[in-house]
Amino acid sequence: MSKISTILRFTPATSRSEGVTGFLFQSAPTLLLPIIGLLLFLAIWNGVAKSIDTSLGQFPGPAQVWEQVGALANEHIEQRESADAFYTRQAERNAARVAQDPNYVPKIRAFTGAPTFLDQIWTSLYTVLVGFLIASIVAVPVGILCGLSKSAYTAINPLIQLFKPVSPLAWLPLVTMVVSALYVSDDPAFSKSFVTSAFTVSLCCLWPTLINTAVGVSNIDNDLINVSKVLRLSPLSHLTKIVLPSSIPMIFTGLRLSLGIGWMVLIAAEMLAQNPGLGKFVWDEFQNGSGESLARIMVAVLTIGAIGFVLDRCMLSVQRAVSWDKSRVLR
């Protein structure tokens, strides 16, 4: 408790002494309050962690977790170095063989080190973005169609209602089997696990975008639709001048919901299906059960949260860029 109170007292005191009082105090609510919240969280975490003993040792506090951040980064760097070393050795060996025997066709083998934490982050990010993109490409047009045409909506609505509440994880076994049955090629551009994960993400990203787009499009101001009718706008200009601009906020609400859900589902799917990515990292660490495992899982948890946050902010800036109403406060 004493720590918290010192933090609380300390922060404004420093800013005052640094002579940027004016700025800091004006922006206090936007700058200071989140920092206070964060520090409070760290303090409570630190306090609580000390009193939890698990079979894998004490629950990690902020310090141990920070340590593991460094460790994971080092592992990545070492892995890269040994990969580089492997490839230079291989190149040298091949060059020597070719020099001896000009007919020799050099064999190139890929480095087979275990993926590091950073590799896993990259895999997950890539997967979620591809899945999300596929879902959006399907959901936005279908949503617009549903919003514009009552009959399309009536036809599609039962399907939406039926599939929306299904946890995408229930699809996972089916998707896995279908992908392994249908996605057969000798030289696949993407691994099966990637296709499975991305497809699972797509399945759950579809619904929020679809529903929000449909609602947004069907709620266009009736007067604007009448304007379009009086002007006899072509279907294309009706779409681009009236429908899209007025439903952009709802479309983006849907997209952001989808991306958030997609990211959550991906981690779960990776854990369940043992597909590469952050979820697998967490699962492997859990199975590993060393003293550092919990701290490393905690790093993953925080990373997942941070990436989810960053993804949402990215969508928000895209929304700002394409939205016509710049003065509107977007959250």
Min separation Cβ 153 and other proteins, Å: 19
Cα gap 256→315, rounded to integer Å: 6
Please state whether beta strands 57-58 and 53-54 pair in parallel, antiparallel, or not at all (unpaired): antiparallel
**Is residue 299 within 8 Å of 69, Cβ to Cβ?**
yes
Note whether 230 binds other proteins by CB under 8 A. Answer: yes
Binding mask 84-123 for other proteins (x = CB under 8 A): ----------------------------------------
Binding mask 268-307 for other proteins (x = CB under 8 A): ----------------------------------------
Min separation Cβ 235 and other proteins, Å: 12
With both helix axes pointing from N to C terminus, report the angle between 244-273 and 278-288 in degrees, rounded to the nearest 10.
30
Beta-carbon neighbour count of residue 331 at 10 Å? 3
Stated length of the chain: 331
Q: Which of 226, 288, 290, 317 binds other proteins (CB under 8 A)?
A: 226
Q: Which of 233, 261, 307, 330 binds other proteins (CB under 8 A)?
A: 233
Helix (H) or strand (E) holding 258: helix 244-273
Q: Which of 33, 73, 137, 227 binds other proteins (CB under 8 A)?
A: 227
Question: Taking contact as CB under 8 A, which single stretch among the options 2-10, 15-23, 198-206, 241-249 is the one that binds other proteins?
Answer: 241-249
Note whether 239 binds other proteins by CB under 8 A. Answer: no
Cα gap 145→163, rounded to integer Å: 18
Residues 6 or more apart in contact with residue 251 via CB below 8 angstroms:
140, 143, 209, 212, 213, 216
Q: Which is nearer to other proteins, 101 or 223 (CB)?
A: 223
Distance of CA 182 to the CA centre of its chain: 27
Note whether 267 binds other proteins by CB under 8 A. Answer: no
Both tokens of residue 158?
Answer: 């039962």
The beta strands (E) that lie in 167-222 are given as none
Cα gap 168→292, rounded to integer Å: 32
3-state helix vs strand vs coil in the chain, percent to 5 = 80, 0, 20
Note whether 229 binds other proteins by CB under 8 A. Answer: yes
Note whether 237 binds other proteins by CB under 8 A. Answer: yes
Note whether 249 binds other proteins by CB under 8 A. Answer: no
Min separation Cβ 221 and other proteins, Å: 7
Q: Which of 108, 327, 329, 331 binds other proteins (CB under 8 A)?
A: 327
**Is residue 247 within 8 Å of 217, Cβ to Cβ?**
yes
Residue with the two structure tokens 């991305």? 198
Cα gap 98→92, rounded to integer Å: 10
Q: Which of 100, 151, 223, 321 binds other proteins (CB under 8 A)?
A: 223
Both tokens of residue 263?
Answer: 């990211």
Note whether 221 binds other proteins by CB under 8 A. Answer: yes
Question: Taking contact as CB under 8 A, which single stretch among the options 3-11, 76-84, 90-98, 218-226 is the one that binds other proteins?
Answer: 218-226
Q: Which of 9, 107, 232, 331 binds other proteins (CB under 8 A)?
A: 232
Min separation Cβ 213 and other proteins, Å: 17
Interface ranges with other proteins (CB under 8 A): 221, 223-224, 226-227, 229-234, 237, 241-242, 245-246, 324-325, 327
